[in-house]
């Protein structure tokens, strides 16, 4: 066996043992498709600096056949803008999508082309379609190197790809803040869409939707996933509202919600459904650069800080921390409301939540599509 086939076989064994790969068709695909062809180099961050690492060495091959996401492009702000996803996550998504031979699949987010190659090896070129806002030419060349020629196009993923519709499955390997209705229109009735819905900063998860002829509806996945967000180069960012200094007076109080509110992904998602668009989170630091509080800000000048030094309650439902809020929007009140609701419902996990997408609305629900329900913000 060659260097890469031994490593690929080892990775398949690891993913199979971990329960991420189950079907022989995907096991064979991950064993047979050379990931290093699609990832000839990747970027590694070292003390804030990105360095390109070639995979043309034993260490490079070890990295490329490990269960690791690898950044393959970085923008001028030092943000990763394309990557080859973790093979374990790719496998999990393919299994969740319940893909059968003969199915026609549209992938949103071609990236390196590796996932498209895995799809081609099981479904054949004619059944695989993939689009990206960039990188498609390189992906096409690499796919051809290993003998695949699916239909690829450079276009904004929100548009989907009408030419191959109706699809049996749509798999988005990039996160969206709302599910484009074009995808619902392009998947056949009974077909499935799997996408990472992320509203606001890191708030959301994979959701599997089935098209019922009008709406697409389904539940969030029990595991957690985080894809990079879809880019919208032509979308004009809304101007930030001038800060109304009259309403900046600060209020202080004690909160039951832990300062790092984002660490519990479900209530953080619920909070993000009502936090203003563009809300960010981070830490305030003392003069030794030690974090002292968490800081939440929104573009209208609203702020909330919560001191890290507080008391955790024994029942796991909160504690007591000092918090201060200022600005037109009481950001922490939104977070507290979401946590209170989540505690009241008995701390439900992801799979108890679902999403319904219609042409006009996107609604998150608990247990049952009827209620309780939350409206998702939609793009203008």
Ligand X SMILES: C[S@@+](CC[C@H](N)C(=O)[O-])C[C@H]1O[C@@H](n2cnc3c(N)ncnc32)[C@H](O)[C@@H]1O
Residues making contact with ligand X (CB under 6 A): 82-85, 108-109, 111-112, 114-115, 131-135, 156-157, 173-174, 227-228, 230-232
Q: Which residue, 173 or 177, is less far from ligand X as judged by CB? A: 173
Q: How far is the CB of 118 from ligand X (least distance, A)?
A: 8
Q: How far is the CB of 49 from ligand X (least distance, A)?
A: 22
SS3 198: strand
Q: What gap in Å lies between CA 300 and CA 254, rounded to an integer?
A: 24
**How much helix, strand and coil, in percent to the nearest 5, is found in the chain?**
30, 30, 40
Query: Which is catalytic among the residues 85, 121, 130, 326?
Result: 85
Q: Which residue, 164 or 258, is less far from ligand X as judged by CB? A: 164
Q: Which residue, 8 or 133, is less far from ligand X as judged by CB? A: 133
Q: How far is the CB of 333 from ligand X (least distance, A)?
A: 33
Question: How many other β-carbons are positioned within 10 Å of the β-carbon of residue 223?
Answer: 14
Q: What gap in Å lies between CA 138 and CA 264, rounded to an integer?
A: 38
Q: Which residue, 174 or 216, is less far from ligand X as judged by CB? A: 174
Q: How far is the CB of 88 from ligand X (least distance, A)?
A: 13
Q: How far is the CB of 227 from ligand X (least distance, A)?
A: 6
Report long-range pairs for 204-211 (Cβ below 8 Å, ≥24 apart): 204/175, 204/269, 204/272, 205/265, 205/269, 205/350, 206/93, 206/96, 207/179, 207/354, 207/355, 208/96, 208/97, 209/179, 209/184, 209/355, 209/357, 211/184, 211/187
Q: What gap in Å lies between CA 118 and CA 160, rounded to an integer?
A: 20
Q: Which residue, 111 or 258, is less far from ligand X as judged by CB? A: 111
Q: How far is the CB of 139 from ligand X (least distance, A)?
A: 8
Q: Which residue, 11 or 271, is less far from ligand X as judged by CB? A: 11
Q: Partners of 373 in the beta sheet?
A: 365
End-to-end CA distance of the chain: 54
Q: What gap in Å lies between CA 117 and CA 95, rounded to an integer?
A: 16
The distance from CA 282 to its chain's CA centroid, rounded to whole angstroms, is 19
Question: 229, 174 in Cβ contact below 8 A?
Answer: yes
Q: How far is the CB of 273 from ligand X (least distance, A)?
A: 22
Q: Which residue, 85 or 279, is less far from ligand X as judged by CB? A: 85
Question: How many other β-carbons are positioned within 10 Å of the β-carbon of residue 50?
Answer: 16
The distance from CA 134 to its chain's CA centroid, rounded to whole angstroms, is 18
84 assigned to active site: no
Please spell the DSSP secondary structure of 185-197, one letter per residue.
HHEEEEEEEEEEE
- The contacts of residue 307 (CB under 8 Å, 6+ apart) are 259, 292, 293, 321, 322, 323
Residues annotated as catalytic are 85
């Amino acid at each position: 066996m060659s260097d890469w086939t031994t490593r690929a076989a080892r990775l398949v064994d690891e993913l199979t043992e971990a329960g991420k790969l189950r079907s022989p068709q995907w096991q064979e695909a991950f064993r047979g498709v050379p990931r290093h062809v699609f990832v000839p180099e990747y970027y590694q961050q070292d003390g804030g600096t990105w360095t390109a690492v070639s995979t043309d060495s034993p260490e490079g091959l070890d990295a490329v056949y490990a269960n690791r996401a690898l950044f393959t492009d970085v923008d001028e702000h030092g943000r990763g803008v394309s990557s080859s996803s973790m093979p374990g996550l790719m496998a999990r998504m393919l299994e969740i999508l319940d893909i059968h031979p003969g199915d026609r699949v549209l992938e949103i987010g071609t990236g390196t082309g590796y996932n498209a190659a895995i799809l081609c090896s099981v479904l054949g070129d004619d059944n695989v379609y993939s689009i990206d806002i960039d990188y498609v030419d390189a992906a096409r060349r690499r796919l051809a190197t290993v003998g695949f020629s699916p239909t690829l196009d450079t276009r904004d993923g929100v548009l989907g790809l009408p030419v191959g519709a109706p699809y049996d499955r749509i798999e988005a390997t990039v996160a969206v803040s709302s599910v484009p209705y074009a995808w619902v229109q392009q998947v056949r009735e009974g077909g499935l869409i799997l996408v990472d819905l992320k509203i606001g900063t890191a708030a959301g998860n994979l959701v599997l939707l089935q098209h019922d002829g009008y709406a697409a509806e389904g539940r969030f996945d029990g595991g957690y996933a985080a894809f990079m967000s879809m880019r919208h180069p032509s979308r004009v960012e809304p101007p930030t509202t001038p800060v109304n200094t009259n309403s900046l007076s600060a209020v202080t109080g004690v909160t039951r919600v832990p300062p790092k509110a984002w660490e519990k992904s479900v209530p953080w998602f619920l909070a993000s459904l009502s936090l203003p668009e563009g809300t960010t989170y981070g830490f305030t630091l003392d003069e030794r650069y030690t974090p002292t509080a968490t800081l939440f800000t929104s573009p209208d000048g609203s702020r909330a800080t919560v001191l890290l030094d507080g008391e955790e309650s024994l029942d796991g439902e909160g504690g007591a921390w000092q918090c201060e809020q200022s600005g037109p929007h009481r950001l922490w009140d939104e977070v507290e409301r979401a946590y209170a609701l989540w505690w009241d419902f008995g701390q439900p996990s992801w799979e108890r939540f679902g999403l319904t997408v219609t042409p006009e609305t996107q609604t998150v629900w608990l247990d049952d599509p009827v209620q309780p329900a939350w409206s998702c913000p939609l793009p203008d």
